[in-house]
Chain A
Amino acid sequence: MADAVLFEFLHTEMVAELWAPDPDPGSGGKRRSLSVLEGLGFRVGQALGERLPLETPAFREELDALKFLCRDLWAAMFQKHMDGLRTNHQGTYVLQDNSFPLLVTMGSGPQYLEEAPKFLAFTCGLLCGALHTLGFQSLVTASVASLPACKFQVVIQKS
Chain B
Amino acid sequence: MSRPAHKRPEYHKINKDLFVLTYGALVAQLCKDYEKDEDVNKYLDKMGYNIGTRLVEDFLARSCVRRCHSYSEIINIIAQVAFKMYLGITPSVTCHNSSRNEFSLILHKNPLAEFVEELPAGRSALCYCNLLCGIIRGALEMVHLAANVTFLQDRLKGDSVTEIGITFLKKLDEKKYRRKK
Interface residue ranges, A against B (CB under 8 Å): 1-7, 9-11, 13-14, 16-18, 21, 23, 36, 39-40, 43-44, 47-48, 51-53, 71, 74-77, 79-83, 98-99, 122
Contacts and interface: CB of A to CB of B under 8 A. Distances in A.
A2 B58 contact: yes
B22 A81 contact: no
Contact of B85 (A1, A13, A14, A98): A1
Interface stretch (B9-17, B69-77, B101-109, B153-161): B9-17
B175 interface: no
Interface size class of B (residues with CB under 8 A): 35 or more
A29 B2 CA distance: 37
B51 A9 contact: yes
B5 A51 contact: no
Contacts of A40: 22, 25-26, 29
A48 B21 contact: yes
Contact of A80 (B2, B28, B87): B2
Given A9-B54, A40-B26, A47 B86 contact: no
Nearest to B43: A17
A76 B15 contact: yes
7 contacts: A2-B58, A4-B15, A6-B51, A7-B19, A14-B26, A77-B18, A80-B2
B69 to A, nearest CB: 26
A48 B13 CA distance: 11
Chain A interface mostly helix, strand, loop or mixed?
helix
Given A1-B86, A43-B25, A81-B2, A9 B55 contact: yes
Nearest to B29: A40
Nearest to A73: B14
Given A5-B86, A79-B5, 18 more contacts: A3-B15, A6-B86, A7-B18, A10-B26, A18-B29, A21-B33, A23-B32, A23-B33, A40-B22, A43-B21, A43-B25, A43-B28, A44-B25, A52-B10, A52-B14, A80-B5, A82-B2, A122-B22
Contacts of A47: 17, 21
A5 B87 contact: no
B86 A7 contact: no
